[in-house]
Structure 1
């Protein structure tokens, strides 16, 4: 059993076909078949069978897939850590939800890298439902956002927030109870199902009509212009509420209290930089940086994180 065979099989499982795995790896489909055949012969298990125009994995195949993902992730991590030793630097891969990335990630990571100036941080933007998978597959060292679903993860709460429903002062809404029948303006993620606000909305009798914008900032601007209502972060729209550009709608159940978590792999499998960030996010310095109005936190130049949108 080789690392190459495991990497190939893990990709077959993730993509659901040999052809797609071959295309992703840039090799021929027979080469993928040969790698899987070698695993079948060594393990004495067919791993998958053809079914309904696709493939269906055996119990042994599903178990191998779980181990293969972790083994491949460990190998990639080992290569990276050895390279870091040679270069005398460290790197940290952070995955965050869109709302956290937009409103708090840059300030947090700027403050963190002022403490660890040799740490190079790469930030990817992900859906909340993908955070646990990013850790298990080791494509991220630490994830920031709602608490991921899954076992053997170490999640530390670090920032409490409130979602309130706001609109322009002249927005035509006579009864707050009718807000569910109006247009709701959101960022590109809509309402994350793992977040408290997502759970709150899912408990309502009517799911509102969502109009998604490239950012929550754009959604707030549209609400300010009278185009609908938006479930905004309370501290983000505080200035608008004070100036009267927006008003809060007293929707039952609001403000929705939420928590953001810093999550790493449990059982001692997290990297040193991941643990360092997880500890840092709970400090007063980190909290002050994340909640400060734009332009207030002193900026110290650092290598900017790489933002990669993972929307499908």
Structure 2
């Protein structure tokens, strides 16, 4: 029995599917299934079974879940203790839109003020609490999170708007993957407008969705200050709706003070400073484009 196997079990149990667990852990679905199979063989119990509403825990699985979650967290604490004295590292998880525009410049701006390695990855609002609790991430930036042992602080207030091409279609909504995350601001806007699923098209990222909107294919939700450069260029214009502009806020979530890493506490402090606010408001101006780094999904998978 390994921490890898226990991590797979915890994430499948909490997220409700092998696919979601694999995505959160940054591994393949067969790898998660193999880890589950090893645990099932060891304990002689299915642990989780597939039903009409997703994965259901057996009695044995329910008893194992709390213990397994603690063991995964302790394993991460042990790794952190062994690494004590080495250069600090910080793992930041964000929603897809922040991952596309903000995470890289923000991480570089923070690292420039402190000798620390910053990596980032994209996660859904449902995955973020698990990644924090399992210490696979130090800080989550995005929607407000709740859960035992977590704290959540607002860091930037913003507004959601709708954008499209002058004369473009208004019956189709164009979203990045965050539009399918129930906890995201984009999804919240779609719910307020009561947009049915068959009128929503999902694109690989926000820039592609905005490109489609600029081509007249539909309307796209957008964080107002992030889409401002496109509005200034004139290829997109603000589309009036019954729910926009909609107030929104980005939150930083971490473990409670007694359990969070020093790097997490330091980033929380940095997020309240004017330089951090400036990067979040104008990420393209915060760091030279040549220094952008791709986001990296965080995992303890071996």
The TM-score, its normalising length taken from structure 2, stands at: 0.79
Structure 1 residue 141: deviation in Å?
Answer: 1.3
What does 1:253-268 align with in structure 2 at a 5 Å threshold?
253-266=243-256, 268=258
Name the counterpart of 2:25: none
Per-residue CA deviations over 1:142-179 (Å, capped at 9, x if unaligned) read: 1111112323311111111211111111225xxxxxx4
d(CA) in 2 for partners of 1:303 and 1:200? 30
205 and 66 in structure 1: CA distance in 2 versus 1, 3 angstrom threshold: same
* 1:24 aligned onto 2:35: yes
* 1:82 aligned onto 2:82: yes
Q: How many residues in Structure 1 have an aligned counterpart in Structure 2?
A: 281
48 and 165 in structure 1: CA distance in 2 versus 1, 3 angstrom threshold: closer
In structure 1, stretches of 5+ residues that fail to align are 38-45, 173-178
Name the counterpart of 2:268: 278
Structure 1 residue 277: deviation in Å?
Answer: 0.8
Name the counterpart of 2:125: 128
| Residue 111 (structure 2) aligned to one of 107, 110, 113 | 113
2:176 touches 2:209 (CA, 8 Å); kept in 1?
Answer: yes
Q: Secondary structure at the match of 2:137?
A: coil
2:146 touches 2:152 (CA, 8 Å); kept in 1?
Answer: no
Q: Secondary structure at the match of 1:279?
A: helix
| Residue 167 (structure 1) aligned to one of 140, 161, 164 | 164
Name the counterpart of 1:250: 240
Name the counterpart of 1:65: 65
Instruction: Please tell me the root mean square deviation across aligned C-alpha atoms, in Å.
Output: 3.4
1:128 touches 1:194 (CA, 8 Å); kept in 2?
Answer: yes
Structure 1 residue 23: deviation in Å?
Answer: 2.0
77 and 184 in structure 1: CA distance in 2 versus 1, 3 angstrom threshold: same
Structure 1 residue 305: deviation in Å?
Answer: 6.1
263 and 125 in structure 1: CA distance in 2 versus 1, 3 angstrom threshold: same
Structure 1 residue 247: deviation in Å?
Answer: 1.8
Q: Secondary structure at the match of 1:193?
A: coil
d(CA) in 1 for partners of 2:133 and 2:75? 13
| Residue 185 (structure 1) aligned to one of 174, 187, 191 | 174
d(CA) in 2 for partners of 1:108 and 1:84? 24
Structure 1 residue 306: deviation in Å?
Answer: 4.5
Structure 1 residue 10: deviation in Å?
Answer: 5.4
Name the counterpart of 2:224: 234
Name the counterpart of 2:151: 154
Structure 1 residue 100: deviation in Å?
Answer: 0.9
Query: Which stretch shows the higher mean deviation, 301-310 or 159-168?
Result: 301-310
Name the counterpart of 1:194: 183
Structure 1 residue 221: deviation in Å?
Answer: 1.4
d(CA) in 2 for partners of 1:50 and 1:190? 29
Structure 1 residue 301: deviation in Å?
Answer: 8.6
Query: Which stretch shows the higher mean deviation, 5-14 or 242-251?
Result: 5-14
Q: Secondary structure at the match of 2:286?
A: coil
Name the counterpart of 1:41: none
* 1:96 aligned onto 2:85: no
140 and 13 in structure 1: CA distance in 2 versus 1, 3 angstrom threshold: closer
